[in-house]
Amino acid sequence: MKACSSTIYARTTKLFMLVRILVSEEEETTIFKWNAIRAHFKAMGPYITFGYILFAAGIFVGATNTAFANYLEQQIAALGGLANTLQESSNPTLAFMVFIFLNNAIKSVFIIYIGSFFGLIPMFFLILNGMVIGYLLQHIAVTNGTGDMFVTLVGLLPHGIIEIPAIVIASAYGMKFGALVWKMLLAAILPNRKVGEAGKAIEFFVIRSVPVVVILTVGLLVAAVIESTVSIWVMQMMRPV
């Protein structure tokens, strides 16, 4: 766990060193202003909405389509095995909290910037996460009844109201990054297009993504604390003894 934390710290340090190079001193004083962050979130509205649509579509496919059952069962089984390993640690609550936070935070930051590969991976990431949740709920309903499915759904809510929007927003930014890369490539190929303007748009996007990364990281930390404590407590309280 210490080695993993050291790796995350080193990568985070490199990221912010890169940002220092890209961002001027004047921009540094305004990059975290709430008005600018809110304005950029508003501009990202269509991408965020599309992200929720993809996530909902994934839930529907996972719950209704058996073609992906084997793959989704493997994903859930892997998570179950990992949960058992964490449960056997000296401090299971802390182990769950650290793992959940690092896993979600790394994936969210990664999915924003891997979106530069034409925005395809963030779309797949959203659909897959939705499919896992949809399949899990449907599987529990079939095997254990709708009562257990309701308990699971309620157990997802305390941390899900933070975690799911964070994942959707991160993926939305990844899709936006991909769209900007597409525009730059078209500008380079098609006549009467200005590559410089497309490049500046990407630079502006990368700068504006920094406060988003910070906000998502803080939000996912809160979600990890809730998931490893409150969510588990809620499910234990709702299950019959």
Each residue's pLDDT expressed in tens, for the chain with a length of 241 residues = 444 445 544 554 554 454 444 444 445 546 778 888 888 889 999 999 999 999 999 999 999 988 888 888 888 888 888 888 888 888 888 888 999 999 999 999 999 999 888 889 999 999 999 999 999 999 889 888 888 888 889 889 999 999 999 999 999 999 999 999 888 888 777 766 666 677 888 888 988 899 999 999 999 999 999 999 998 888 878 776 5
Residue 21's pLDDT is: 47
Which residues, in sequence order, are CB contacts of 170 under 8 Å at separation 6+? 107, 108, 109, 111, 112, 122, 212, 216
At 17 the pLDDT is 53
pLDDT, position 26: 44
End-to-end CA distance of the chain: 34
CB 174 within 8 A of CB 111: yes
Q: What are 185's two structure tokens?
A: 């490539």
| Distance between CA atoms of residues 180 and 175, nearest Å | 9
pLDDT of 131? 94
What's the pTM?
0.82
pLDDT of residue 241: 54
Strand segments, DSSP code E, in the chain are none
